[in-house]
């Protein structure tokens, strides 16, 4: 069982999408913390906009890096 989780963790650390996963994890953590401490819509909207911004930046990075890799393979 330990080997399964260690291999998944290493795969996550080398993934191009790891920053998106971190953003979603942080968003879920902020939602849970906000609901436990002081439920307020502004905190939720701030966490949502920050997470979406990180995901969009990561999406652009993945698209650009994959296009760059495809162009280098053609040469």
pLDDT in tens, 20-69: 888 999 999 999 999 899 888 898 899 999 999 999 999 999 999 888 87
Report yes or no: 64 and 51 within 8 Å, Cβ to Cβ: no
Judged against a pLDDT cut of 70, whether residue 1 lies above it is answered with no
Contacts of 47 (CB under 8 A, 6+ apart): 26, 27, 30, 31, 34
Q: Compute how many other C-beta atoms are within 10 angstroms of the C-beta atom of residue 23.
A: 21
- Cα–Cα–Cα angle for 65, 70, 56, nearest 5°? 30
pLDDT of residue 55: 93
What tokens appear for 34 in the block? 């906000």
Interhelix angle 2-13/18-37, rounded to 10 degrees, is 110
pTM of the model: 0.74
Q: How many residues does the chain have?
A: 75
pLDDT of residue 19: 86
């Amino acid at each position: 069982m330990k080997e399964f989780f260690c291999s998944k963790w290493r795969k996550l650390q080398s993934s191009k999408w790891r920053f998106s996963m971190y953003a979603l994890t942080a968003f879920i953590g902020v939602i849970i913390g906000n609901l436990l401490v002081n439920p307020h819509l502004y905190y939720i909207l701030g966490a949502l906009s920050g997470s979406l911004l990180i995901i969009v930046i990561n999406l652009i990075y993945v698209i650009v890096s994959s296009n760059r890799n495809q162009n280098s393979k053609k040469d």
